[in-house]
Amino acid sequence: MDFLKDLNKSQLDAVTYNDGPSLVIAGAGSGKTRVLTYKIAYLLSQGVSPASILALTFTNKASREMRKRIGELVGYQNSRYLWMGTFHSIFARILRNEAEHIGYTKDFSIYDTTDSKSLIKSIIKELQLDDKIYRPGNIHSRISFAKNNLITASAYNQNTDIQQSDLRSRVPRTGEIFTIYTARCKQANAMDFDDLLLQTNLLFRDYPDILNKYQAVFGYILVDEYQDTNFAQYLIINKLAEQHERICVVGDDAQSIYSFRGANIDNILKFRNTYKNAELFKLEQNYRSTQNIVNAANSLIDKNADQIKKTIFSEKETGNLIRVSSVMTDFEEAFSVANSISELHKKEHYSYNDIAVLYRTNSQSRVMEEALRKQNIPYQIYGGLSFYQRKEIKDAIAYFRLVANNDDEEALKRIINYPARGIGNVTQDKLFSTAQLHQVSAWTVLQDMLKYNLDVNAGTATKLANFRNMIDVFTQQINTLNAYELAESIVKATGIISNALNDRSVEALSQMENVQELLKAIHEFSDMKKEEEGAELVTLPDFLSEVSLLTDQDTEKNDGKERVSMMTVHAAKGLEFKNVFIVGMEEQLFPSPYTESMREMEEERRLFYVAITRAEENCFISYSKSRFRNGQTNFANPSRFLKDINEEYLEYTDNTQFSPRSHSSYSDYDDIPDIRNRFRKTPFKSRATQSAPVQSPRKLTKISQKSSEKVVVENTNYPMGAFVKHKLFGIGKILETSIIDGNEKAEIDFGEKGVKSLLLKFAKLEILK
DNA sequence: TGTGGATGCCTTTTT
DNA sequence: GGCATCCACA
């Protein structure tokens, strides 16, 4: 137990207390992962069996990392049998073991968000509802929210509050959709992400024996990132820990940023209400960042009302101030960040690995990418469209899923006519409606088309039968052939690859490479399973059971090349970099324009807190006065959060006119600038010149050249000062009209919606008299 | 039945 | 700019 000497006093206390419930509040950079890994290592060294320790994390990456570190401390032999993984993967495993109790087979499919929405969409269609009103995404989040609060479809339909709320939102038949959705998932032998938690809860509720079994197995329960748990997760942990209460949760309320996914910050804030005898450990020393960074972050988070008070401090050097810079356009921002990165690399000799660019939304990555590429700076984007979300990969996996689980309707839908085999929309509609009529899966209908009176002509019936037989042959091999061989023969036989071969385009080539990459991943997966778990035969279902819960966070380029990391702030949680660039620090972007309540605003502030605290040595923040988004240029003000950081930790560089004044108070949130005030404050002239590309300072010729030629002209149809109405933005006032690249454009002030630059041919403006 | 073009829609964060 | 949908036409 030599290793315990690596810990400071509070870390040591937290690690060695294991007799009852404990809450570890771990400030950013305070060694949270260290406490968790050492605690497990400590338990193992005390003779606790690894198989009796349940350790839950939020990402696969985190759990792999921890397993590795524990292995280094106590040997890999010991760490192998730990129950360690993400909530979703651990409970998927348990559900597969117990599947028959709840009417599933152990090879159930896992529907991802796309599958769920697609199923909801078809139900909406079947009910002949308008998908403009019943928007699949919206309905999905309603259902998801309910499930995360353990409200089943029948409970949903009996709950008058929910009915009222659905009525107010003009989607009163959501409950009905929910009921059908549930039935269809079951019919398809599929669970969605939320089911993995909901069904676990139902299993434990309805089968006390099973609950007892797992209660007995898990003698020690540890939960990482506890601030991000939702009600369903809370309840599972709670039940499992009921008997022995040896539960340790670790988290930081200041880093709770997943409420949109149902995470409930109250779980951590009120942990000690649930466990009255819980010990509280606070880790307050930050080992990661310089004092300036820690102090700046503290002064920011101090503006939040809802939090567990703590005093995070650093004993590292004071360090550089946080540099805040303003630029004119998002292009300029990207180039100036790229320049700074070059300098850090060339002059200060930082590895590219020590640099990260963080942003609020994935769509911001494109400009950055362009700028880095032009400067030949290697980078890797995390998040965004992940490998497993690419079309060709989803297609291939849909085949695998259908082979493993013939009832998987979303998989079937996806590939029944891809590559094209003459089974068109008409036929598909007939197939699916026949299936629904008889309340069976589409596959069941395919097996006996005559019995179900499937109304298709002989030619079509043959095509359907051929398709069915092809899949059938693979299904028969599923438990005898190894994953790689089966996957390879599926890919070959189905023609996904030959389809790509026919067309020699760059896209097709890259699609082929991706499919090859997938096969390689299956191979590697099999090798790993054989090596780590001594499995003799790794089958395709084995692979599928893990792949559906993988995210791109887990696919890391591992070739040892140095790269700048680019990702959303959400994705950066838990990571650290010597140099961090936070870009797009603007109103309407960060905080997100979707922010409505004060609670949500506090979450945005925590998100900014997370961003700043990723930095070890240097933190650079930038904001732009205009940004090209959704096909138009929007003007923007600096984020209110900049004012929340104590000025003494900031250094404003270059052409910043904005100066930090008072802190933003909560009343600011509702403070919508009056339209007339706006006009007075910002005369049209200055705006017009501001948007001219010539204005951009410094050595930004490249971008300037890229910008288009703009000629200001008076447009008689849209005179300056006229009021117009836009479908989305409402009433606005014309500030200026111009021609850019032959397109007529107008700059219009929409008051609270901001100043927009719109192309007249698209904007469909209505002139108001 | 398949395909290409036009059109109209939205656009946060993710296990 | 991306994606789904619609429509005309092969």
Assign 3-class secondary structure to A441-490: CHHHHHHCCCCCCCCCCHHHHHHHHHHHHHHHHHHHCCCCCCHHHHHHHH
What letter represents residue A399's amino acid?
Y
Report CA torsion sign: A52, A57, A61, A65. negative
Distance, Å, A719 CA → B9 C1': 29
Q: What is the mean pLDDT of residues A253-271?
A: 88
Predicted confidence at residue A516, as pLDDT, reads 87
CA dist A83 and A81 (Å) reads: 6
Element (H or E) spanning A239, and its range?
helix A231-240
Cβ contacts of residue A605 below 8 Å, gap of 6+? A300, A301, A303, A304, A591, A641, A644
Task: Note whether A61 and A513 are within 8 A (CB).
Answer: no
Is A182 or A571 the better-scoring residue by pLDDT? A182
- Residues of chain A with pLDDT > 70, as a percent, come to 82
Q: Assess whether pLDDT exceeds 70 at residue A107.
A: yes
Chain C: positions less than 7 Å from a protein CB are: 1, 5
Distance, Å, A497 CA → C6 C1': 30
Distance, Å, A744 CA → B7 C1': 20
Instruction: Report residue A760 CA to chain centroid gap.
Output: 36
Looking across all nucleic acid strands, the nucleotide with the smallest C1' to CA distance from residue A421 is: B1
Q: What is the pLDDT of residues A578-616, one digit of tens each?
A: 999 999 999 989 998 888 888 889 999 999 999 999 999
Binning pLDDT at 50, 70 and 90, where does residue A718 land? low
Q: Is the CB of A631 under 7 A from strand B?
A: yes
Q: What is the largest CA-CA distance in chain A?
A: 85
Please state, in angstroms and as integers, the Cα–Cα distance from residue A756 to each residue in A17, A707, A708, following that order: 58, 18, 17
Could you say which DSSP state residue A2 is in? Answer: G
State the catalytic residue, choosing from A98, A107, A224, A330.
A224
**Which one, of A535, A510, A215, A541, lies nearest residue A408 by Cα?**
A541
Q: Is A262 left (phi over 0), alpha (psi -120 to 50) or beta?
A: left
Distance, Å, A392 CA → C8 C1': 29
Give the residue nearest to nucleotide B7 (CA to C1').
Answer: A762
Binning pLDDT at 50, 70 and 90, where does residue A184 land? very high
Predicted confidence at residue A751, as pLDDT, reads 62
Task: Note whether A238 and A201 are within 8 A (CB).
Answer: no
Q: Is the CB of A261 under 7 A from strand B?
A: yes
Task: Note whether A203 and A92 are within 8 A (CB).
Answer: no
Q: Is A179 left (phi over 0), alpha (psi -120 to 50) or beta?
A: alpha
Distance, Å, A456 CA → C10 C1': 24
Q: Is the CB of A762 under 7 A from strand B?
A: no
Helices A193-206 and A208-217 sit at what angle, rounded to 10 degrees?
Answer: 100
pTM of the model: 0.81
Distance, Å, A298 CA → B10 C1': 37
Instruction: Report residue A452 CA to chain centroid gap.
Output: 42
Q: Is the CB of A597 under 7 A from strand B?
A: no
Distance, Å, A750 CA → C8 C1': 39
Q: Is the CB of A383 under 7 A from strand B?
A: yes
Is A129 or A669 the better-scoring residue by pLDDT? A129
Q: Assess whether pLDDT exceeds 50 at residue A706.
A: no
Neighbours of A637 (CB within 10 A): 13
Element (H or E) spanning A238, and its range?
helix A231-240
Burial (0-12, 13-18, 19+ Cβ within 10 Å), A237: buried
Helix locations, A347-448, DSSP H: 365-374, 391-404, 409-415, 425-437, 442-447
Q: What is the pLDDT of residues A131-144, one digit of tens each?
A: 888 888 889 989 99
Predicted confidence at residue A695, as pLDDT, reads 27
Predicted confidence at residue A597, as pLDDT, reads 86
Tokens 């280094």 sit on residue: A72
Element (H or E) spanning A333, and its range?
helix A330-346
Q: Assess whether pLDDT exceeds 60 at residue A711.
A: no
Q: Which residues partner with A251 through β-bridges?
A: A25
State the catalytic residue, choosing from A11, A227, A229, A255.
A255
Predicted confidence at residue A655, as pLDDT, reads 46
Q: What is the pLDDT of residues A668-696, one digit of tens each?
A: 333 333 222 222 222 222 222 222 222 22
Q: Assess whether pLDDT exceeds 70 at residue A758.
A: no
Q: Which two tokens stand for residue A262?
A: 């149902």
Looking across all nucleic acid strands, the nucleotide with the smallest C1' to CA distance from residue A425 is: B1
Tokens 């100036």 sit on residue: A336
State the catalytic residue, choosing from A32, A67, A142, A578.
A32
Q: What is the mean pLDDT of residues A467-471?
A: 92
CA dist A135 and A157 (Å) reads: 19
Q: What is the mean pLDDT of residues A617-636?
A: 85
User: Which of A39-48, A255-264, A706-715, A749-758 shows the lowest mean pLDDT across its residues?
Assistant: A706-715
A439 is catalytic: no
Query: Mean pLDDT of all residues in chain A?
Result: 83
Cis? peptide before A136, omega within 30° of 0: no
Report CA torsion sign: A591, A594, A596, A598. negative
User: Which of A69-78, A263-272, A372-381, A500-509 shows the lowest mean pLDDT across its residues?
Assistant: A500-509
Q: Which two tokens stand for residue A44?
A: 């193992």
Predicted confidence at residue A4, as pLDDT, reads 85
Q: Is the CB of A424 under 7 A from strand B?
A: yes
Q: What is the mean pLDDT of residues A457-485?
A: 91
**Which one, of A217, A107, A211, A194, lies nearest residue A478 by Cα?**
A107
Q: Is the CB of A630 under 7 A from strand B?
A: yes
Q: Is the CB of A482 under 7 A from strand B?
A: no
Q: What is the mean pLDDT of residues A368-394?
A: 83
State the catalytic residue, choosing from A166, A225, A354, A409.
A225
User: Which of A35-39, A103-107, A480-484, A672-676 shows the lowest mean pLDDT across its residues?
Assistant: A672-676
Q: Assess whether pLDDT exceeds 50 at residue A286.
A: yes
Helices A425-437 and A458-476 sit at what angle, rounded to 10 degrees?
Answer: 70
Distance, Å, A39 CA → C8 C1': 68
Structural Rg of chain A based on CA atoms: 28
CA dist A651 and A663 (Å) reads: 17
Q: Is the CB of A462 under 7 A from strand B?
A: no
Predicted confidence at residue A665, as pLDDT, reads 32
A224 is catalytic: yes
Binning pLDDT at 50, 70 and 90, where does residue A757 land? low
CA dist A298 and A268 (Å) reads: 20
Binning pLDDT at 50, 70 and 90, where does residue A726 land? low
Strand C footprint, Cβ within 7 Å: A 121, 630-631
**Which one, of A439, A521, A442, lies nearest residue A484 by Cα?**
A521
Helices A506-533 and A391-404 sit at what angle, rounded to 10 degrees?
Answer: 50
Q: Is the CB of A417 under 7 A from strand B?
A: yes
CA dihedral of A338, A339, A341, A346, whole degrees rounded to 10: 140
Q: What is the mean pLDDT of residues A121-126?
A: 88
What letter represents residue A577's amino acid?
F
Task: Note whether A383 and A552 are within 8 A (CB).
Answer: yes
A307 is catalytic: no
CA dist A136 and A122 (Å) reads: 9
Looking across all nucleic acid strands, the nucleotide with the smallest C1' to CA distance from residue A385 is: B14
Distance, Å, A218 CA → C4 C1': 48
What letter represents residue A721's amino acid?
G
Q: Assess whether pLDDT exceeds 90 at residue A749.
A: no
Please state, in angstroms and as integers, the Cα–Cα distance from residue A98 to each residue in A199, A235, A243, A540, A617, following that order: 11, 19, 21, 20, 49
Cβ contacts of residue A269 below 8 Å, gap of 6+? A253, A306, A308
Element (H or E) spanning A11, and its range?
helix A9-16
